[in-house]
Amino acid sequence: MGAVTSPALRLDESGERLRLLHVHAHPDDESSKGAATTAKYVAEGVDVWVATCTGGERGDILNPAMDRPDVLANIAEIRKQEMDAAREILGIHQVWLGFVDSGLPEGDPLPPLPEGSFGTVDLDVAVRALVKVIREFRPHVLTTYDENGGYPHPDHIRCHQISVAAFEAAGKDGAFPDAGPIWQPQKLYYNMSSRARYEALDAAMIARGQEPPYAERLKNWKRDSTDRVTTRVNCADYFAVRDRALIAHATQIDPEGHWFAVPLEVHQQAWPTEDYELVTSHVETSLPEDDLFAGIPTKPGPGVGSDA
């Protein structure tokens, strides 16, 4: 008897697996932004890579249980170990671009960024590092943050800058000729987290007779991106995978914190998608979309795990 056949591999028109590259600033960002989308596509046979710009060396300890001297003394190595665990949970390949976390500057006036940190590195140096990854992996689709970095952390803003520049440069003759043969990704997306999402989650909690956990966040919401969303990927079945990947980043994620303020089943019903803005497309597609690969020519693929 043959093995049980999983859903078919998703292939491009040349018969190669569809490929998706997420570009993130720090370890844990791949789990807090688009992780259920990632898990969904991995389950469908898509090859997913994550490029992590920095090691997160200057990240604060956000989980009280991990706020210990031994953790602080080894934060860089621990964050690598956390990334290893999240990578295995998500089923991805992950590469480090090798830059140093800038930290989140605080104060008035803001202090300068640490010398040599990602936010201060020459832009061409950082773009070249990402172009090299793009040309090696040859993704059909690339995702990153919007022009505000999702939130104004200097590493998130720099991640946006190098992602947009590398998306264009990777396919240009003469650009970074030592970074490998040219490759042009077909689509570029920004991760989007809208006010409407948090309003829906709060409303669902109120309907259950429970306190809305995001009332304060909504009260202080300064910038709404709801009207920028072009693409909603239904991935509610993979929210549990996302949660496990989040918890793997134990220094950054408090299991009792805001990430888990809404029960899983409530979140799945109230807002079952992860949302994106299509910024650039070199293929024809119709908006709104429900698939990051919409418009990319494909062909039927064999079942994953089939021995037929």
- Residues making up the annotated binding site for Zn(2+) are 26, 29, 156
Q: How far apart are CA 49 and CA 46, in angstroms?
A: 10
Q: How far apart are CA 258 and CA 217, in angstroms?
A: 11
Instruction: Find residue 231's DSSP bridge partners.
Output: 276, 289
Classify residue 285 as exposed, middle or buried by CB count within 10 Å of its CB (0-12, 13-18, 19+). middle
Spatial contact of 186 and 140, defined as CB atoms under 8 Å apart? yes
Q: How far apart are CA 38 and CA 32, in angstroms?
A: 11
Beta strands in the chain (DSSP E): 11-12, 19-24, 47-54, 93-99, 141-144, 187-192, 231-234, 273-281, 298-299
User: Which bin fits 305, alpha (ψ -120 to 50), beta or left (φ > 0)?
Assistant: left
Instruction: Find residue 51's DSSP bridge partners.
Output: 23, 95
Closest CA to 143 of 195, 88, 192: 192
Binding-site residues, please? 26, 29, 156
Q: How far apart are CA 225 and CA 202, in angstroms?
A: 18
